Amino acid sequence: MKIPTSRLIYQRSVASIGVVNNLILIVLIVFKSPKQLGYYKYLMSYISIFEILYSTLDFVSAAEIYSNDSLFVVILHKNLAILSDGLLKYANLAFCSLFGMSMVILAIHFVYRYLIILGSGFLRKRHFQKVLSFIGFTVIVGFLWALSMYWFLNNNVYSDIVLKKDYLAPRHLNLSDIDYVGAHFWQIDGNGAEFINWKSIGAVAIMTVIIFISFSTVFYCGYQIYTRMEIMSSIQSAGSKNLQSQLFWALVFQTLIPVLLMHIPASIGFITSMFNQTNQFLGEVVTYSIFMYPALDPLPNFFIIKSFRQAILDFLGCLRKGIAPANSKNTNSQKQNSAQVDQN
């Protein structure tokens, strides 16, 4: 198989940027967070750690989304992945699991911000343990997501036949060269009759419920937080009001990025596959967009949260100051050499 060099370079470059950006954000959270942030910094650090894991998995797996007719699957190539053959299946399930966890993690952030701004008594006792329980809940959801993928969307003979014909043969590959997991809604039996694959329908139904609950939680808590901030703006100090606003809008934009880059394109892929109307171009679009999420997701925190933005500007200012003296020394030495030449 001819290695898709441009796609591989793009995926691994974006994954590397994702690791760097999230490491920077963790440093800012640890050393530059306002004191009022409290235990929320642990949830912020958790999402950065999650995205580092996501980027690392992107880098080592170089996953490809393939869609055609009623097929929508994630494919890993043995000769492209930086993994042993035995780990390929687990990496594929983990990749899909992290996709499912991403929206749940953001929903938990909104729930926590809502409880804080509401002044809920739920967090007054064992606050740190409850933050850990929020994190543990997202891990459980990710584990259940992986299990549903393994039980309902794993390899099967009908999908094997379609992949051999439409995907593997043009690329001169065999089934043993790849691992795949995903939905195949309309399958053809040995007599040529088409039938519905209810396993794929069931798995997508479970995923849809999880995503729907996550979205509903985000919208409800987001609206309540915004309304509450408006009510409390007259009685809060300017510093507290500004911080709450910064955290809220950073979280809003941090939520829009995976929604636009991952969940909407993937949902379109599943829906069109369900109606036997998807195509290979859509799979390529999802492949390119889904890798951008961890690299872009930290950016709202860099620009919106004042203490983080100021720390970055201070760092860039120090770099400029460090470069300026060196340039001035070079300029002075050039002037001296020029003067000596004139004298000679």
Total domains present in the chain:
1
Residue 335 inside a domain? The answer is no
* Whole-structure pTM value: 0.88
343 within domain boundaries? no
Is 192 in contact with 89 (CB distance < 8 Å)?
no
Q: Which domain holds residue 201?
A: 5-311
Task: Encode the chain (344 residues) as per-residue pLDDT tens digits.
Answer: 555 678 899 999 999 999 999 999 999 999 998 888 889 999 999 999 999 999 999 999 999 999 999 999 999 999 889 988 889 999 999 999 998 899 899 999 999 999 988 888 888 888 999 999 999 999 999 999 999 899 999 989 999 999 999 999 998 999 999 999 999 999 988 888 889 999 999 988 988 898 899 999 999 999 999 999 888 877 767 777 888 899 999 999 999 999 999 999 999 999 999 999 989 999 999 999 998 999 999 999 999 999 999 999 998 887 777 665 555 555 455 545 544 544 43
Which stretches of 80-163 are DSSP H helices? 85-118, 127-152, 157-163
Q: Give the H/E segment covering residue 171.
A: none
CATH of the domain at 55: 1.20.1070.10
- Alpha-carbon distance of 151 to 193, in angstroms, equals 24
Q: Is residue 327 a part of any domain in this protein?
A: no
Q: At what angle do helices 5-32 and 306-343 cross, to 10 degrees?
A: 110
Nearest to 26 by CA among 53, 12, 46: 46
**Nearest-angstrom CA–CA distance, 120 and 112:** 10
**Pick from 14, 12, 43, 11: nearest CA to 26:** 43
Residue 329 within a domain: no
Q: Is residue 334 part of a domain?
A: no
152 part of a folded domain:
yes
Domain assignment of residue 333, yes or no: no
In angstroms, the CA 105 to CA 211 distance is 11
Residue 195 lies in a domain: yes
DSSP state of 153: S
Dihedral sign, CA of 134, 61, 276, 176? negative
